Amino acid sequence: MKLAAIQQSCSDDKETSLAKSETLVRQAASDGAELVVLQELHATSYFCQTEDTSVFELAEPIPGPTSERLGDLARELNIVLVGSIFERRMNGVYHNTAVVFEKDGSIAGLYRKMHIPDDPGFYEKFYFTPGDAEFNNGSSGFSPIQTSVGKLGVLVCWDQWYPEAARLMALAGAEILIYPTAIGWDVTDSREEQARQLDAWITVQRGHAVANNLPVIAPNRVGSEPDPSGHSEGIRFWGNSFICGPQGEFLARADNTGDSVISATLDRTRTESVRRIWPYLRDRRIDAYRDLLKRVRD
């Protein structure tokens, strides 16, 4: 199966950003991709650099204008498409939501970001309610979404630092781990610190691939975005989107310079063959892990 990840810079204007997303998705589909993954919050600039109640006007219901536009695109191109929407679930409840569209344009499933950061320049707790730990059917919030191209373990950005999320997706039968992302540098950081942060981001996700014998798709935004408040010098999103295989091997990788479509052909038998010689899931000591349910060990 051929799959693609989209890396793009974004605009304050939703129409401009979505038009660029659409152009890049069309490029990926024309190259034969059956699964295309867009980055986190690709319809707008990264508004979480400040806390501003007027930003909630950007949020949309699902279904809504953006989901309908992306669904129409998936149907036209006959692809499975993963998009990102600032979701208005009800008055006062908003989510950072990944939406998976089937080839017929229907919504195959939603994933509402579970881990929400709150750091200088990334004030997401102001905007986003965490996804529900359990849905009405009793399944975990970390549940893969069934599509015609397989079971997709969709997570979002800050989720990528947590091995528990990746493992729960793997245990539920995910065939691919997907991390739409918006991460970048404080432009005042030294080059050495920037290199350490980028290396950590790549390494931890490749580690999830290795530990769960699953391919990983990680599209990240790119470009510099100013701080609307003027209190900082803004964020330089570092791009470096990548696709890796179930042993962490790079299959495709972008740089940090601009918009990009990266693609790879996935051997869907690799996970099975790798798990036969690296049976991590077989050897888990589930009888000894109960302390993971504690915030800290006493």
- Active-site pick, 40, 102, 124, 225: 40
Q: Is 10 a catalytic residue?
A: no
Residue with the two structure tokens 């909630």: 56
Q: Active site residue: 124, 157, 175, 225, which one?
A: 157
Which secondary-structure segment (H or E) carries 138?
A: none
Q: Which two tokens stand for residue 33?
A: 């991709």
Q: Which of 210, 211, 215 is nearest to 265 (CA)?
A: 215
Peptide bond into 215 cis (omega under 30): no
> Where do the DSSP E strands lie in 91-208?
93-101, 107-112, 118-119, 122-123, 145-147, 150-154, 176-178, 184-186
CA proximity to 245, closest of 219, 266, 272? 266
Contact (Cβ atoms closer than 8 angstroms) between residue 261 and residue 31: yes
Instruction: Say if residues 176 and 166 touch (Cβ distance below 8 Å).
Output: no
Q: What is the C-alpha separation between 220 and 148, in angstroms, rounded? A: 25
| 48 a catalytic residue | no
113 annotated active-site: yes
Catalytic residue among 10, 103, 113, 244: 113
Residues forming a β-bridge with 222: 238
Question: Which residues are catalytic, by number?
Answer: 40, 113, 157
